[in-house]
Amino acid sequence: MAKARALDKRRKSIRNIRKITRTMELIATARFKKAMDRAHAATAYTRRMTQLVADLANSGLEVKHPLLEPRETTDRAVLLVLTANRGLCGGYNSSVLRAGFARYVELQQEIPNLELEISGKRGIAAARFRGYVPSTTYTQFEDRPSFEEVNVLAERYLAEYSSGQLDRLDVAYMQFENVSRQSVVVETLLPLGSLGEEPAEENKSQLQYEFLPSAESILEEVVPTSFKVKLFKCLLDAAVSEQVARMVAMKAATKAAGDRIRQLSMAYNRARQTQITGEIMEIIGGVEALNN
């Protein structure tokens, strides 16, 4: 009897786990949809920004800005690693951290003053475990990073960059390509290499724009803004990817729990049947013994 009961107990607890993982999967799905909508809404801005830059370039203005030029010597750099605040999302955190820490070690060889900045509790814990000391940590970016919060961060980087306290900024995060594909990238955001991708030839408008107050003044503002938008995009991508990873991980966990329940049910039934058979055999044996 003991064995069958133990099996039943285990089956019950796995049922509870399945309930939990299923709920978490549903929550992650809902959050993913919201994050995805936000990321989608943000593309309207990026698209128009790219168009604006293309129109500026078309007007014959030479696109030149201190933020676009690489520095001759890179003495101070910051590596920002974007991880999640929570676990249970498959390989999401570990793959970001693997790529991020690899870059950190690599950059340490070249750059004397390298600082590590980490967003997300998981990343902070992992860094502590490995003995890296992050200079700044953030935990406020959840699945809905707001532009206002990111703006504060971006403004600080820009101020440090223009005053020479920072020569390079790298960001390690999970880029969102589509629902079934996310990849870890380590991108250099400062200095900005270029202002967005070049639009296709036929896209180029032939309109002659009037610039107020002047094309140079607009460019002066365009460059920092596109940096901010890029950084914001990194955080949005990271948020969406996290939810996707959690969704997939919880789906797999729910499925695994279901499989395990089936196996345990089979073992339980078999054990119960064996027990019944054993008891019948005992009774028959007893009867036989009395008859003789």
Partner 1 sequence: MAQIQLVVVTPEETALEAAVDFVAVPLEDGELGVLPGRAPMIGRLGYGEMRLRFGSQVDRYFVDGGFVQIADNVVSVLTSRAVPAAKIDREAASNQLSEALALKPNSDELFESRDKLESQARALLRVARG
> Which range binds partner 1 by CB under 8 A, 16-24, 48-56, 63-71, 128-136?
48-56
Contact between 93 and 125 under an 8 Å Cβ cutoff? The reply is no
Residue 41 CB, nearest distance to partner 1 (Å)?
4
Q: Which of 5, 12, 48, 128 binds partner 1 (CB under 8 A)?
A: 48
Contact between 205 and 58 under an 8 Å Cβ cutoff? The reply is yes
Nearer to partner 1, 171 or 218 (CB): 218
Contact between 134 and 118 under an 8 Å Cβ cutoff? The reply is yes
Among 143, 33, 39, CA closest to 84: 143
DSSP state letters, 248-287: HHHHHHHHHHHHHHHHHHHHHHHHHHHHHHHHHHHHHHHH
145 sits in which H/E element: none
> Which range binds partner 1 by CB under 8 A, 1-9, 212-220, 244-252, 281-289?
212-220
For position 228 contacting partner 1 by CB under 8 A, the verdict is yes
Binding mask 57-76 for partner 1 (x = CB under 8 A): --------------------
| Cβ partners under 8 Å of residue 198, min gap 6 | 54
Nearer to partner 1, 162 or 194 (CB): 162
Q: Which of 23, 188, 217, 273 binds partner 1 (CB under 8 A)?
A: 217
For position 222 contacting partner 1 by CB under 8 A, the verdict is yes
Q: Looking only at residues 182 through 211 of this chain, which bind partner 1 when binding is defined by CB under 8 A? A: 205, 207-211
> Which range binds partner 1 by CB under 8 A, 22-30, 142-150, 195-203, 272-280?
142-150
| Sheet containing 136-138: order of strands | 136-138, 113-119, 76-82, 168-178, 181-190
Nearer to partner 1, 104 or 157 (CB): 157
Residue 227 CB, nearest distance to partner 1 (Å)?
12
| Cβ partners under 8 Å of residue 233, min gap 6 | 42, 46
Binding site for partner 1 (CB under 8 A): 38, 41-42, 44-45, 48-49, 51-52, 55-56, 146-148, 151, 155, 159, 162-163, 205, 207-213, 215, 217-218, 221-222, 225, 228-229, 232
